Every structure is written in C-alpha cells, then in structure tokens.
Amino acid sequence: MKNITEIIGKYTAGEKTLEETNAALKEAGAGLHLDPEKNVLTEADKRTTTIGYYPDQANGWGLLDTGTGTMDKVEVRGGQLVNCDMGESYALVFIAGRMYHVKGRLLVD
C-alpha cells in the first residue's frame, strides 16, 4: 500500500503526469488506474491547491479513494469535502502529495 500511496501522492503533488502514474501503478500491480476523463488534475487545479500542517488547512482539488478500485476527483475547502459526505464509510483523500483519512466530510490525520 505504501508504494501505491507514494505513486498517487506524486501525481497529486504535480511531480508525475497521469500517464506516468498509470504506468507506475501497473508496474506496482495496484489493480487500479486513473481515468483520464475523471481523474485529471489540471495545472489550474494544482496551482489553487494548498495544504498546511493541519488537515483543516487543505484547500483545492484531490482524489478520493473509497476502496472501490476507482478514484474520484473532489474539491476540498477548509479541510472538508465539498458536495460529498462519506458518513461512516472508509475513505482516503490524496491532495497535494498528502494522504488524509476522511470522517464524514472532514479530512483527518
């Protein structure tokens, strides 16, 4: 899992392209890939995305992993998912190279 987390983190940090990320995920045997229609983080998305020391300082765009084998592009404001509530479900958000757990709408360490 750590290797896959690092691969996706590099994509959300803008260090790797979507194509490079998919190749690395395939090589790692991840069993998932990023959909070029749903998971693209544009240059504008990356430039408006910021994180801080605490989860509530995260703002911008990231990828939501709900354990289904696919990821969804999501917006985060003030450390909370916008237009998405995970309730009691397990989920992770990858944003600007960091990974946070999700409790309802809140990003937590």
Residue 2's Cβ-count burial label (10 Å; 0-12, 13-18, 19+) is exposed
Question: Which domain range does residue 54 map to?
Answer: 2-108
Q: How far apart are CA 22 and CA 103, in angstroms?
A: 28
Residue 45 pLDDT > 90: yes
pLDDT tens by residue, 1-32: 569 999 999 999 999 999 999 999 999 999 88
Number of structural domains found in the chain: 1
Output the average pLDDT for the chain. 94
Q: Rounded to two decimals, what is the model's pTM? A: 0.92
- Residues of the chain with pLDDT > 70: what percent? 98
Q: How many angstroms separate the Cα of 75 from the Cα of each of 10, 28, 72, 91?
A: 18, 27, 10, 14
